[in-house]
Structure 1
């Protein structure tokens, strides 16, 4: 069994919990992994990779993510979210809507974001690191009293809790991430996912599985003949002319439309990420 299963992860479950449930249903007969970890308090679409699809990890992990979240003003916790211990709370805080909208947009495009290595370091206010992250788009959906509902589209390694900390600093107030749901991961959408509780038997997995060919349909594609197919399956170097006008993640298909390998093209050179054999 090879493919990607889109699971709607509920809050209070870990991504690992979802993987373990699928593993148990498959009786540990297939490799199973996930792309794009979701924290326990987050819900939303989680791609679970099965069989040879686990080799797509490097490709999928680069995907953009889209979330809908709620930001609560006037609250500070030791984890920067609603699960932490409340440090300060002021329900009478007054902030202009125009200021909120401006502060959410100030980091549009991307910026150097400061993160802590892990939750323990965050609580102890130490081990801060800084790296550039991409913020593709952010929209305010609704503002009601101390609650701000927002939609955000981000790149890999973007930390939403750190972003909201920076928004709070820009506003000159306190605030936390109150809830978060991922509605899109690359081309995978929440509306196409299956609720975790509805996965009870192997057929529930098979009937919702996206095969590798469809899971990689967004990538550039090269079709090869039988002679070149043998070179691909052996991981041999390929003719540079094949990759003229191609850049980025690329898949190689046989004449029978089966996926042979995936890789990355840069400057006309194809670097293998994984040789898959011949899979649909």
Structure 2
């Protein structure tokens, strides 16, 4: 009688994996594969990246999962190629062609129209998206041939740069606020140019303070010896690089980890009065204790705490 294989016990890992997601793989599948390769007990991703898209997908493990919202809320930067003159049902190469138009534009015209999208704009979320209506993602309605009314949302295009224009291909670098759909941006630019458009390529290169330059592909992770794979994890505070720092002596650190509010001025702890959100460390060993808010009168209010 064949014996059942013994399941490996999952390991409690803390840190961030900067994954360079390949085309065709969903964010959830990328998470599952990464979690298996690292034999991790607890993991989560920081917002979906379409299967069509490639690039930076930060994956959080263990204590890092407490801070995923910070990356969800962070600005993102993308490189994209907009194919002018062809509109599709999905706004990218995975959809069916809806219309084809001639593209008679100069580089100056393309740049002038693209520049108009810098700043705060309104976007209507696409039907082919994970936004939910009555508990179902919009893409399920779209696959059933159902189109629902969607309310326009305000998003912010921090920067939009034309990297190249070789008609009909318009290459852009876009830094934007959370909730921005680059597919919709490409479609809207095509409409403004009078020819329609869809995305030919989409690659995310930055999320908040995290960059694609420090990422690893799944095949490269799998090629590492199993005992060496955790060496690619970044520390938990890598995603908090923009937060001011506060160091606490041992007794205050203990009280902080118990969720107590601390009077920084009274305790003689150095801080920036208008810091807002901060990352907090124990002074003795420089261990991250969590994040907090600096309130009025120098009160440090614990927010998310690191266990252990």
- CA distance in 2 between counterparts of 1:60 and 1:269 reads 26
Q: Any conservation in 1 of the 2:293–2:302 contact (CA below 8 Å)?
A: yes
Q: Does 1:100 align with 2:122?
A: no
Q: Any conservation in 1 of the 2:15–2:233 contact (CA below 8 Å)?
A: yes
Q: Give the match for residue 191 of structure 1.
A: 213
What is the 5 A alignment of 1:55-204? 55-90=66-101, 92-116=102-126, 117=131, 118-120=138-140, 124-200=146-222, 202-204=226-228
Question: Post-superposition shift, 1:247?
Answer: 2.8
SS in 2 for 1:23: helix
- Residue-pair matches, total: 276
- CA distance in 2 between counterparts of 1:195 and 1:7 reads 6
Worse-superposed segment, 201-210 or 129-138: 201-210
Question: Post-superposition shift, 1:244?
Answer: 4.5
Q: Any conservation in 1 of the 2:262–2:301 contact (CA below 8 Å)?
A: no
Higher radius of gyration, 1 or 2: 2
Greater share of strand: 1
Question: Post-superposition shift, 1:266?
Answer: 5.6
Q: Any conservation in 2 of the 1:5–1:205 contact (CA below 8 Å)?
A: no
Q: Does 1:222 align with 2:251?
A: no
TM norm structure 1 = 0.90
Q: Give the match for residue 11 of structure 1.
A: 23
Question: Post-superposition shift, 1:198?
Answer: 1.3
Question: Post-superposition shift, 1:181?
Answer: 0.5
Q: Which string of whole-angstrom CA distances, capped at 9 and with x for unpartnered residues, describes residues 192-221 of structure 1? A: 101111112543431211112444333211
TM norm structure 2 = 0.82
Q: Does 1:257 align with 2:279?
A: no
Worse-superposed segment, 66-75 or 193-202: 193-202
Change in Cα spacing, 1:215 to 1:44, as seen in structure 2 (3 Å) is: same
Q: Which string of whole-angstrom CA distances, capped at 9 and with x for unpartnered residues, describes residues 135-185 of structure 1? A: 110111111121111111111111111212221222222111111001111
- CA distance in 1 between counterparts of 2:199 and 2:228 reads 34
Change in Cα spacing, 1:270 to 1:104, as seen in structure 2 (3 Å) is: farther
Worse-superposed segment, 119-128 or 233-242: 119-128
Q: Does 1:38 align with 2:49?
A: yes
Alpha-carbon RMSD across the aligned residues, in angstroms, is 2.1
Q: Any conservation in 2 of the 1:219–1:251 contact (CA below 8 Å)?
A: yes
Change in Cα spacing, 1:223 to 1:141, as seen in structure 2 (3 Å) is: same
- CA distance in 2 between counterparts of 1:101 and 1:12 reads 30
Q: Give the match for residue 23 of structure 1.
A: 35
